[in-house]
Amino acid sequence: MSSLATTARLRRFGGPLRDRLTVGPGATLLVAGLWPLLTLGLSPRLSAAIAYTLCLLFAFPHVARTWFEVYARRENLLEHPVPTIFLPLVLLAGAGMLLDAPTLLGPWAVLLYLAGSVVHHTQQTLALLAERARAAGQPLTRARPAAALLLGAAAAVAGWCVGPTPTSFYGIQPPMLPAAWRGAAYGLSVLALAGLAVWLFRRHRQGVSVREEALILAPQVLWYTLLAAAPALVLFVPALHGLQALGAEGAAGDREGIWRRYGLAFLLGGALFEALPGLIASAGIEVSTAYVAVTAWLQLHHFLTEPLRWRREAAR
Amino acid sequence: MSSLAGTRAWIVNRPVDLLLAGSGLAFALYLPLALFVHGAVAPALLAFAGLLSVLGNGPHFMASYVRLYGERDTRRAHPLVAYVAPLLLAAGVVGTLVSPRGFGAWFIKAHVIWSGYHYSGQTYGIALLYCRKRDLALHAWEKWLLLGPIAFSYLLPTISFEAGQTGGAFYNLPYPTIATALHDAFGLAPPAWLNQATAWGYGAAIAAFVGWLAVRRFRGASVPLPAVLAVAAQMLWFTVVGANPTFSLFVPLFHSLQYLVVIYAFHRGAWLQEGQPLNRLARRHYAFLVLLGIFLFGAVPGVLAQYGCDRQVAYAAVIVFINLHHYMIDGVIWKLRRPELRRALVTPLEQAA
């Protein structure tokens, strides 16, 4: 009995409610349920501000946690100088160029950020999936659903880039794709969903309990299908991704001092994502350009360094 | 006197006290600026002052927040400042966002007027602290002599400004002088002799202060040098530098450095008991204050802007909120009659630890 209980506990990242809400699809479904209010009841500006506030609470602290975890350990810098030192500096130079030539580079920075998000969100989903499967004693082997997840998310992003009004990021739109891509994107999304279903079915046939795995896959599938279809909802995706990571962190890391760590990450996240663009804008740079440059730099840097944390957690 | 030569006589040590708590740094910086920098502020210096503000001014505000909200006893002892004042000030922020040129102008005005009073209070407190550390018992009339030049150095520029017709601007938000407001509301004007009387009062206060210093020295019970320096620095900040806008940029930094020295001394005893290197804990505390300062001063107005508020007005409103709250907090948490403060700031370190 106790071993069963232990297994059940290990298969979750926290309590059942927190697990379903943060790591699973609970929060995503809540946001999706608010869709009528967000699109019909509130102005787009207020809806975006609410999404931004959730980013302040979850997405930015999630990024800041990576800074603390990666740069607080000297060995990370010595063992991985390329993602921790070299590439961030290259990205910083890119952000400087973006501030200098926003019209030319802005759309490409947005596209790079969106593409990086696709890869990063998929990496996180896979990392959580692998961790849970390992804890449950049913480790993933060759059958990783990476291709299907990536395909689905990439298709959704391609859909955003189709005109006449592509999804914009702080008022800057990614390079526009031909209208014919919209149909292709839908087709690819369906294909990706089918691929995931087949993968889960095969796991089930192998005797694996796929319910928990499906719950981990569900958020990303919902982000890049249901939420991606509504401009008011897609702004919530970074916050939901951050919430998922923060929710999983409690079990993976040291529980003691978790609120202190979150508090510091909250402050650093706010300082980096909000105060820094404000500072740059005070030097006479367009506010939206400053936000895009800083956000793209911080997020791409996060995409590069976060896998170092996952690797260390997996090793533990 | 030799028994006082150790940690008792200084808050941190001789150079730190003279440069920062006594604001010797202000005098050191004033001379080259007065000689070589004239006219409008250079953009590079403005940016440099902004950076110093993040590193010095922000942490000094945040240190008072940490002192109030980080200590349960302090919070409980001052519920009005800890819980009621933030609500009232938040209402002030809302009022400023709704009516930047109406209510906002007076919200800013409250900050501008209180600011000088707050500086004066700190100068007076630091001067008294050094006297206390040297076992210098001051009579009530001596305290008035000490306070005189401090108070008049604040009153002179304040009255001169408020009696005039040209208001100021804070983050591009204009605010009136009291004279214009009185004239517009009641048709009143300040008496013509007010400025001159204040200037005479200032001169008399300086003369009395210098005389008192001389008498004290003659009697072999000199007023401590950092105390004299602190008073002189306040006079420099408020009444000498008006013609040099570049130097004025750095005045909040000097005030903040004074404060941070006291903060360091206050926490030092507790840090020593933690058994970790003192400098490491001090650095960690300072880094936290910098981070908190960047968040409150930089991120909170940005978030308000995300909700559709004017960015400049949001910055002004949040800065005024933090400043006014800081003045209120400092008004209650630094009473030397409290034993824990005496232990931290006056008692020799060896005894306190």
Interface pTM, i.e. ipTM: 0.82
Lowest average pLDDT, out of A39-48, A195-204, B180-189, B226-235, goes to A39-48
What pLDDT shows up at residue A254?
60
Closest residue of chain A to B292, computed from CA coordinates: A267
Is residue B57 within 8 A of residue B289, CB to CB? The reply is no
What is the token pair recorded at B68?
A: 């109030």
Q: How far is CA B216 from CA B53, B136, B138, in A?
A: 38, 10, 11
What is the token pair recorded at B244?
A: 């040099």
Give B-chain residues touching A279 at CB under 8 angstroms.
50, 298
Q: Could you list the beta-strand ranges (E) of chain A.
A: none
Altogether, the residues listed in chain B come to a count of 353
What pLDDT shows up at residue B176?
93
CA dist., res. A164 & res. A170, Å (int): 18
Is residue A218 within 8 A of residue A28, CB to CB? The reply is yes
Closest residue of chain A to B43, computed from CA coordinates: A283
3-state secondary structure of A135: helix
Axis crossing angle, helix B225-235 with helix B194-218, rounded to the nearest 10: 170
How far does the CA of residue B299 sit from the closest CA of chain A (Å)? 5
Of B79, B110, B78, which is closest to residue B93 (Cα–Cα)? B110
Across the range A223-233, mean pLDDT stands at: 79
Over residues A143-178, the pLDDT tens digits come to 566 767 777 777 777 776 665 556 677 778 787 777
Rounded to two decimals, the pTM is: 0.87
Closest residue of chain A to B47, computed from CA coordinates: A283
What pLDDT shows up at residue A189?
79
Over residues A278-306, the pLDDT tens digits come to 888 888 888 889 999 999 999 999 999 99
What pLDDT shows up at residue B351?
57
CA dist., res. A35 & res. A221, Å (int): 17
Give A-chain residues touching B306 at CB under 8 angstroms.
48-49, 52-53
What pLDDT shows up at residue B148?
97
What pLDDT shows up at residue A248?
85
Q: How far is CA B153 from CA A50, B159, B332, in A?
A: 48, 10, 23
Answer whether A274 sits within 8 Å of B299, measured CB to CB. yes
Q: Considering CB atoms only, which of A53, A264, A278 is closest to B298? A: A278
CA dist., res. A285 & res. A106, Å (int): 14
Closest residue of chain A to B304, computed from CA coordinates: A49
Q: Considering CB atoms only, which of B291, B303, B315 is closest to A268? A: B291
Q: Considering CB atoms only, which of B299, B301, B311 is closest to A271? A: B299
Contacts for B322 with CB less than 8 Å, ≥ 6 apart: B61, B296, B297
What pLDDT shows up at residue B36?
79
What pLDDT shows up at residue B65?
96
What pLDDT shows up at residue A18?
80
What is the token pair recorded at B292?
A: 């908190």
Ramachandran class of A275: left when φ > 0, alpha when ψ lies in -120 to 50, beta otherwise: alpha
Q: Considering CB atoms only, which of B50, B295, B307 is closest to A271? A: B295
In this complex, is the C-beta atom of A171 within 8 Å of any C-beta atom belonging to chain B?
no
Answer whether B307 sits within 8 Å of A277, measured CB to CB. no
Of A21, A25, A32, A14, which is closest to residue A218 (Cα–Cα)? A25
* pLDDT above 70: percentage of residues in chain A: 88
Over residues B183-210, the pLDDT tens digits come to 988 888 888 899 999 999 999 999 999 9
Lowest average pLDDT, out of A42-56, A127-141, B161-175, goes to A127-141
> Confidence band (pLDDT; 50, 70, 90) for A239?
very high
With a cut of 90, say whether residue A244 has pLDDT above it. Answer: yes
Chain B residues 313-332 with CB within 8 Å of chain A: 315
Contacts for A280 with CB less than 8 Å, ≥ 6 apart: A99, A290, A293, A294
> Confidence band (pLDDT; 50, 70, 90) for A250?
low
Low-confidence spans in chain B with pLDDT less than 50: 1-6, 353
Q: Considering CB atoms only, which of B302, B306, B308 is closest to A275? A: B302
CA dist., res. A148 & res. A213, Å (int): 15
Altogether, the residues listed in chain A come to a count of 316
Give A-chain residues touching B48 at CB under 8 angstroms.
none
With a cut of 50, say whether residue A2 has pLDDT above it. Answer: no
Closest residue of chain A to B44, computed from CA coordinates: A283
What pLDDT shows up at residue B2?
37
Give A-chain residues touching B301 at CB under 8 angstroms.
278
In this complex, is the C-beta atom of A96 within 8 Å of any C-beta atom belonging to chain B?
no
Across the range A303-310, mean pLDDT stands at: 87
How far does the CA of residue A2 sit from the closest CA of chain B (Å)? 41
Across the range A233-254, mean pLDDT stands at: 82
How far does the CA of residue A148 sit from the closest CA of chain B (Å)? 36
What pLDDT shows up at residue A164?
58
